[in-house]
Amino acid sequence: MKEFASIDIGTSYTRVLMGRMGDDGVIQINGAGVSPSQGVRNGGVVNIEQTVQSIQTAAREAELMSGLVVEEAVVNITGKHLKGENSRGVVAVTNRDRVVTESDVLRVIEGAQNIRIPADQEILHVLSREFVVDDQSGIRDPIGMTGVRLESEVHIVTAGKTALTNLRKAVNAAGIRVTNLVMSSLASSEAVLTSGEKDLGVAVVDIGSGVTDIIVYVDGGVFSSATLPWGGSHVTQDLSFGLKIPMEAAELVKRNSGCVQIAAVDPIEKIELPAMSGRPPRWVLRQEIAAIMEPRMREIFELVDQELMRSGKKNALSGGVVITGGGSRVEGAASLAEEVFSMAVRKGNPLPLGGFFDRVDGPEFATSVGLLIGAAQSTDTARKAPRESGSGWMQKLRSWVSENL
Ligand SMILES: Nc1ncnc2c1ncn2[C@@H]1O[C@H](COP(=O)(O)OP(=O)(O)OP(=O)(O)O)[C@@H](O)[C@H]1O
Ligand SMILES: [Mg+2]
């Protein structure tokens, strides 16, 4: 049985998951390791040696648990260097019977990649949104349909070359082969969304420590994506500065007593700040804490809202917004988000898998679980014959794209 692994290199934590496909077709998680990240800033590798250490520590923990070794993995990529844009391709259907074949699909997707890319960027993903055969739009799998003209609508994501190089270097130096690099928001959404939500129209907002990743689905496909260089660590920084306590103490205060909704906090409730050597104990109003945290979180959500509006599809999101990532754990996050977006917001945990799922059952594991699902799918198609099902060619497309990286 084939095993697979994922690595989520985050600004605050590096997470390694190992899994295998169960006989029932459900992914079994058989190893999970988490280590504090060193050498990562706003989602990007800034110190390779330190990142290698974090990967190795997390991988070792996962390996001890599973009794297996991580040889290759699907790895996340994030950072504000990621740019998403929509494009389209048009080709004539060449076959004599005018039946769309796989080669027409590959040609039309290739044609859609004909966009101007800055010299320091390269294509990371070409995500097919829909096909149009003659005048018939909204087609997901055009193979076998009859027509003379095939169009494709795609969402293209490009990534900074330097960021790609540093990431690959760090994982390789940890002794692990990178099978695929996947944009964090794509992975997170794979873990927390149902396909029904993607069809309805939905946005996923993964609030991490140093970045917030946004992805918008319309009619089942990716319509837009963006990454903001802000996250939970900025809330912690504000607390550290505002309460004049170290970052570690501010992190504890945020997790144990923090709230991003001033109005939801009892106005007379006080908490004791974590003890610091040489200082007498100090009590502060919980409302004072919320008064520091809410403006920063509101600002982050306002920037997210701007991205949703920029996509032009905010009104098409009947499935609302799903917030995930460790930063979404903060008390009051969903209510504040609802207020800022004027939309329904739910919190997103990874959808259940088998094995040691209890070890990854939290929003901070959304990216790593999504990457593991992707790893399972590519392993699965690698084993199968060329094209067996509708989703098979999508997989093929994906690997075709990564082969051309
Ligand atoms: N219980 C909690 N309450 C409030 N905040 C929390 C809680 N648990 C985690 N966080 C915050 O979540 C953030 C870390 O989230 P996560 O692990 O998803 O980030 P990351 O993947 O390491 O970083 P990034 O995705 O930005 O590169 C930190 O800012 C942390 O303070
Ligand atoms: Mg993250």
Residue 236 Cβ < 6 Å to ligand 1: yes
Q: How confident is the model at residue 399 (pLDDT cuts 50, 70, 90)?
A: very low
* Top mutation candidate among 7, 8, 9, 12 for ligand 1, by most atoms within 8 Å of CB: 12
385 vs 220, more confident: 220
| Cβ proximity of 52 and 17 under 8 Å | no
Structure tokens at 183: 């944009």
Query: How high is the pLDDT of residue 394?
Result: 41
pLDDT of residue 81: 97
327 Cα to the center of ligand 1, angstroms: 4
pLDDT at 289: 98
Q: What is the pLDDT of residue 378?
A: 82
Q: What's the 26 CA to ligand 2 centre distance in angstroms?
A: 24
Please name which ligand lies nearest the alpha carbon of 233: 1
Domain range list for the chain: 83-160, 195-348
The percentage of the chain sitting over the pLDDT mark of 90, rounded to a whole number, equals 89
Fold annotation for 195-348: Nucleotidyltransferase; domain 5 (3.30.420)
311-339 residue pLDDT tens? 999 999 999 999 999 999 999 999 999 99
Q: How far apart are CA 273 and CA 261, in angstroms?
A: 20
What is the pLDDT confidence band of residue 305, given thresholds at 50, 70 and 90? very high
Q: Average pLDDT in the 113-119 region?
A: 94
d(CA 155, CA 124): 11
Question: Does any ligand 1 atom lie closer than 6 A to the CB of residue 364?
Answer: yes
Q: Measured from the CB, is residue 158 less than 6 Å from ligand 1?
A: no
CA angle 349, 353, 358 (to 5 degrees): 65
What's the chain's average pLDDT?
93
CA of 363 to the centre of ligand 2 (A): 10
Note the pLDDT of residue 281: 84
Q: Tell me, what's the pLDDT at 327?
A: 98
Q: Any idea which architecture 83-160 has in CATH?
A: 2-Layer Sandwich (3.30)
pLDDT digits (tens, 9 = 90+) for 148-190: 999 999 999 999 999 999 999 999 999 999 999 999 999 999 9
**Shared fold status for 83-160 and 195-348:** no
**Does ligand 1 come within 6 angstroms of the Cβ of 14?**
no
364 Cα nearest atom in ligand 1: 18
Question: Residue 80 — pLDDT band, cuts 50, 70, 90?
Answer: very high
Residue 195: per-residue pLDDT? 86
pLDDT tens-digit map of 9-44: 999 999 999 999 999 999 999 999 999 999 999 999
With 60 as the cut, is the pLDDT of residue 232 above it?
yes
Residue closest via CA to ligand 1's atom 29 equals 232
Closest to 168 measured CA to CA, from 76, 241, 34, 249: 76
Distance 203 CA to ligand 2 centre (A): 16
Can you give the chain as a three-state secondary structure string? CCEEEEEEECCCEEEEEEEEECCCCCEEEEEEEEEECCCEECCEECCHHHHHHHHHHHHHHHHHHHCCCCCEEEEEECCCCCEEEEEEEEEECCCCCCECCHHHHHHHHHHHCCCCCCCCEEEEEEEEEEEEECCEEEECCCCCCECCEEEEEEEEEEEEHHHHHHHHHHHHHCCCEEEEEEEHHHHHHHHHCCHHHHHHCEEEEEECCCCEEEEEEECCEEEEEEEECCCHHHHHHHHHHHHCCCHHHHHHHHHHHCCCCHHHCCCCCEEECCCCCCCCCCEEEHHHHHHHHHHHHHHHHHHHHHHHHHHCCHHHCCCCEEEECHHHHCCCHHHHHHHHHCCCEEECCCCCCEECHHHHCCHHHHHHHHHHHHHHHHHHHHHCCCCCCHHHHHHHHHHHHHHCC
Instruction: Tell me the CA distances in angstroms from 41 to 11, 186, 188, 357, one per residue in order.
Output: 6, 20, 19, 29
Ligand 2: centre distance to CA 373 (Å): 16
Q: Is the CB of 211 under 6 A from ligand 1?
A: yes
Ligand 1 centroid–CA 195 distance in Å is 26
Closest of 83, 76, 211, 86 to residue 159, by C-alpha: 83
C-alpha 260 – ligand 1 centre gap (Å): 15
Q: 348: Cβ below 6 Å to ligand 1? A: no
pLDDT of residue 387: 35
Residue of higher predicted confidence among 296 and 96: 296
